[in-house]
Amino acid sequence: MAITTKDLQHLFALIAGDIAAQRDHLCELDGAIGDGDHGLAMDAGCEAAAKAVGGLDPAQAAPTAVFNAAAKAFLNAVGASSGPLYATAFMRAGAAVKDKPELSDDDFVRAFAVMAQGIQERGKAEPGEKTMVDTWKPAADAALKVRASGSALAECFDMADRAARQGCEATRDLLAAKGRASRLGDRVIGHIDPGAASAAIIIASIAKFARHRDG
């Protein structure tokens, strides 16, 4: 069963709700090693994206338009670090599904993987630098790998979710090399990276979405 524009609209709404529920928690995480606004940025961005995407006519708009609308809305609502990172992610996803009226499971996993790649390229960050890349990269790798072995979408994203959570948790012991936290030396040890935490929430939402479709 293919993934339609309508499904993607649901997905963006799901993400926005899950992020909103963690807004204050994400601000607290950012307060410890950053400037305390990451929850606000992600909440504003995801809400704007869901709203822009929700406003599209599913009969007219292909999945590529969904991702592009999300990119634009997220970026303009947020700025900050998260804005360009997620806008780039969504734009890459949009490019990867160009011309497709709806998405196969393979298409969807590929879109997911290029999102991770887009984030990494925009931020010029490597894994291990205590950023959201530490969540996105292992999650994308896991999804691709499980999909290559022929598993269903739900299973791909279950494994992605697990990898994301591990990657996020592992940022606790890392020094930061990118972003605001990179100036703090070993004072960041013991704190999870807020961008890694919000990424894990988003990936959990996607896993929920995939489970719901397959189940």
Partner 1 sequence: MKTKKLINAGADAVDEMLQGVLVAHPRHLYAVEDVPRAIIARNGPRKGKVGLVIGGGSGHEPTFLGYVGKGLADAAAIGNVFASPPPDPIIACAKAVDGGAGVLFMYGNYAGDVMNFDMAAEMLALDEIEVRTVLTTDDVASAPADQREERRGVAGNVFIFKAAGAACDLLYSFDEVERAARHANARTYTMGVALAPCSLPQTLKPNFLIGEEEMEIGMGIHGEPGVARESLKTADAVTDELMDSILREMKAERGDRVAVLVNSLGSTPMMELYIMMRRVKARLDEAGLVIHTSLVGNYCTSLEMAGASITVMHLDDELQRLIDHPCDCAMFAR
By CB under 5 A, is residue 38 in contact with Mg ion? yes
Q: At CA 26, angle to CA 133 and CA 89, rounded to 5?
A: 35
152 binds, among ligand ADP, Mg ion, partner 1, none (CB under 5 to 8 A by kind): none
Q: Which of residues 13-42 bind ligand ADP (CB under 6 A)?
A: 30, 34-35, 37-38, 41
Among 181, 167, 183, 175, which residue's Cα sits nearest to residue 132? 167
47 binds ligand ADP (CB under 6 A): no
Report the C-alpha gap between 87 and 173 in whole angstroms: 28
Q: Is 122 in the site for partner 1 (CB under 8 A)?
A: yes
Site for Mg ion in 137-176 (CB under 5 A): none
- Asked if 118 touches partner 1 (CB under 8 A), the answer is no
DSSP summary character for residue 100 = -
Among residues 85, 153, 203, 206, which is the contact residue for ligand ADP, using CB under 6 A?
Answer: 85
Which residue's CB is nearer to ligand ADP, number 106 or number 126?
126
193 binds, among Mg ion, ligand ADP, partner 1, none (CB under 5 to 8 A by kind): ligand ADP
Residue 87 to residues 19, 69, 93, 131, Cα–Cα distance (Å): 16, 9, 10, 16
* Beta-ladder partners of 3: 103
Question: Site size for partner 1, by CB under 8 A?
Answer: 34
Minimum Å gap between C-beta 55 and partner 1 is 18
Should residue 82 be labelled a site residue for ligand ADP when binding is judged by CB under 6 A?
A: yes
Residue 32 burial (CB < 10 Å; 0-12/13-18/19+)? middle
Binding residues for partner 1 restricted to 160-199, rule: CB under 8 A: 178-184, 187
- Per rule CB under 5 A, is residue 110 in the interface with Mg ion? no
Cα-based angle 189, 190, 191 (whole degrees, multiple of 5): 95
Q: Which is nearer to partner 1, 33 or 142 (CB)?
A: 33
Cite the DSSP H helix spans in 124-177. 133-148, 153-170
Taking the C-alpha atoms of residue 90 and residue 127, their distance in angstroms, rounded to an integer, is: 20
Q: CB 201: neighbour CB atoms within 10 A?
A: 22
Binding region for Mg ion (CB under 5 A): 30, 34-35, 37-38, 80
Binding region for partner 1 (CB under 8 A): 24, 27, 31-37, 40-41, 44, 75-85, 87, 122-123, 178-184, 187
